[in-house]
Amino acid sequence: MKNGDSIKRRLEEVKEMDDYKNALSALADIQYDIGISACVERSELRKELEALRRVISGNGHPTDSVLARLSGVEKSIKVIGNDITDIKRALLGDLRDGEQTKGVVERIRDCEKANANIQKFIWIIISLVAGQVIMSLMGLL
């Protein structure tokens, strides 16, 4: 109660009264004040509860309710989680049905190795051609 201290003081005053009729009248006044205060507080609580209910239920629009929006978020999280799992499998590879598939990272490594081997092969060819040209020039001299 907002005025709990004042009620306590008034009750202490009632205890000091010698006249029962005045004491009973004072207690009735205190009880009335308590009832009025409780009614005001209940009215405020009712308004806050109605506002909260409107927010939760979507203010007459079920699709705008907190529960509907939460359901949408849960569905989005599941889709995003599945997408992340697919991306992880694509990057790192996967072992499905007993067959290992290579991921993007491993495929890039394989391509880099193949590229290095091709470069070595090209240098061998260039060296052979250059050697042949040099041998031809030496044979003509």
DSSP secondary structure string, 90-119?
A: HHH-EEETTEEE--HHHHHHHHHHHHHHHH
Q: Return the amino acid letter for 124.
A: I
Q: Could you tell me how far CA 36 lies from the centroid of its own chain?
A: 45
Q: What is the pLDDT of residue 71?
A: 80
With cut-offs at 50, 70 and 90, classify the pLDDT of residue 98. low
Q: What is the mean pLDDT of the chain?
A: 84
pLDDT band for position 129 (cuts 50, 70, 90)? very high
Task: Domain of residue 137: give its range.
Answer: 103-141
Residues 6+ apart with CB under 8 A from 95: 101
Residues 9 and 52 in one domain: yes
Q: pLDDT tens across 76-87, in order?
A: 888 888 888 888
Residues 28 and 74 grouped into a single domain: no
- My answer on whether 91 and 137 are in the same domain is no
Look at the alpha carbons of 99, 103, 109, 112 in this order and tell me if their dihedral is positive or negative: positive
| Number of domains into which the chain is organized | 3
pTM over 0.85: no
Say yes or no: 88 and 107 in one domain: no
* Same domain, residue pair 39 and 8: yes
Domain identity same for 21 and 9: yes
